[in-house]
Chains A and B, each alone.
Chain A
């Protein structure tokens, strides 16, 4: 909750202020669209450690945060970057080597968990996952849960519906709320107070945003308040939730941002290649993450030609006929 009229900060200031070692954090976007990549790169550059990360289906952002050594625990439904990495590569490696702890949920369950957090409820019911290992296998042990006041004592709970067989549902699965220290989402437009507008699919960004103690909005365009207030029904993020507004053009790059730019197949393919090899991955981080001061330098490093190739067509919102092999 923050009603200051001007919350504009630099990305460095916002990450330094709100993302600490051990923070419980969630990031918006879905697979290769609207991941808050500029913020992710800044977190890696700051060498933040031991993050407890919550996502539903995420791709490059999760993979780079894990590859950058920032994450120790993750609650997740899906780690994949579409055709570019069916399973996120550094994520896969970290789980296989047990260098991070993981707990699996479904997309709907993660969304309901964020919604419960946003609503201030302890849990919400669903009918997803009866009879599966999503319910039966816990990533975090009972003891670990007891010792950590920031996570609930149980993973998922099956109960008989207190309404008998109403709506032909005898049982429900209860999913516990998530409340993060900080959530970061990337939106197309925001004003300096933090009213935000997402164009295209919102995924679970709104629920993630409202389940956070602190919310950082990175935006493609910092616009006048009047531009957003003239059509308030198109704004999903009311400023009261927002703590920091950061203007970062190409802030979701190399993932897509509807009506602004497509995902960059060249970057994502090169990344996938580098991520499979320790030495190449170190070189990747040195060049594209540590080697630049921020997103502006990354975009300059990638070069005009590729940035022009992914520019969105204003009618469809994506780059038509982009070479995507």
Chain B
């Protein structure tokens, strides 16, 4: 079955979500990945929004994390204070997996969603952190969606919005952050993970039809590619559920 790179990215993320995970979703593809996981491989995962909605029944795809569609049939609708407490709570917080996106990323998974250029007169202004820096600070695991481009995988981000592994090794602990940080980066070409000790990014997988060299050509910094394997493409049944159940109106796909 034919598929787009967006569908591939969504399914790769969904496969990382397990039963019992509390999935923090942002806008767009991250929401779709959480819905796909819930419908395909992790029916007992819990979809959770920073706006305060827990385990809503997403009968239609929300277009923002405050969309009234996230309020329907929720276990509880509260507000931001409660949502960010859930991420830090020493019992529930351990199970939260964050899904984020950004304009720039460095080799330690630090991301920028604020500005390109000078902060005070930027070449491009983006939305800003929202809750991304909070979730990146608090939770033990996160997934970052990126477009594979040289100007996006950079030696140094123009503005460090949300912490990854900061300077690597135990940089998070030294700075004062709880343990955790990004676990994987999913792009339109590949999947990267982080070394257990140095916390440096390495290439873990590349998509069918993409070579390791192509991935490297689309990054400003080099990464270890020795462990990289071809990623399984989405199955027909995964694609059918994604298209027909999660986004029938093609709002994100």
A interface, CB within 8 angstroms of B:
29-34, 56-57, 59, 76-84, 86-88, 91-92, 95-98, 104-109, 111-112, 115, 127-134, 136-137, 139, 158, 167-173, 200-207, 256, 258, 262-263, 312, 316-318, 320-321, 324-325
Contacts and interface: CB of A to CB of B under 8 A. Distances in A.
Given A77-B129, A95-B125, A170-B176, A318 B69 contact: yes
A258 B68 contact: yes
Given A108-B84, A111-B84, A131 B128 contact: no
Contacts of A111: 79-81, 84
B215 to A, nearest CB: 25
Contact of A30 (B66, B129, B160): B66
Nearest to B85: A108
Interface in B65-92: 65-72, 77-81, 84, 88, 90
A34 B115 CA distance: 27
Given A132-B161, A137-B159, A312-B68, A96 B27 contact: no
A105 B129 contact: yes
Contacts of A203: 51-52, 66, 79-80
Interface string B80-106: 110010001010000000000000000
Majority SS of interface residues in chain B?
loop
Interface of B: 27-28, 50-53, 59-60, 63-72, 77-81, 84, 88, 90, 110, 114-115, 119-134, 137-138, 159-163, 166, 171-172, 175-178, 249-252
Contacts of A86: 27, 126-127
Nearest to B167: A131
Given A127-B137, A127-B176, A324-B63, A317 B72 contact: yes
Nearest to B251: A324
Given A104-B114, A200-B68, A200-B71, A57 B130 contact: yes
B123 A202 contact: no
B177 A30 contact: no
A263 B27 CA distance: 16
B63 A82 contact: yes
Contacts, number: 224
Contact of A83 (B63, B122, B137): B63
Contacts of B172: 130-131
**Residue among B59, B71, B77 with the highest chain A CB neighbour number at 10 A:** B71
B128 A79 contact: yes
Contact of B128 (A97, A104, A129): A104
**Residue among B110, B114, B178 with the highest chain A CB neighbour number at 10 A:** B114
Contacts of A108: 80, 84, 131, 134
**Residue among A131, A136, A169, A312 with the highest chain B CB neighbour number at 10 A:** A131
B80 A107 contact: yes
21 contacts: A31-B64, A32-B66, A32-B67, A33-B66, A34-B66, A57-B130, A96-B124, A104-B161, A128-B134, A130-B163, A132-B163, A133-B160, A137-B119, A139-B120, A207-B79, A256-B66, A256-B67, A263-B63, A263-B67, A318-B71, A324-B63
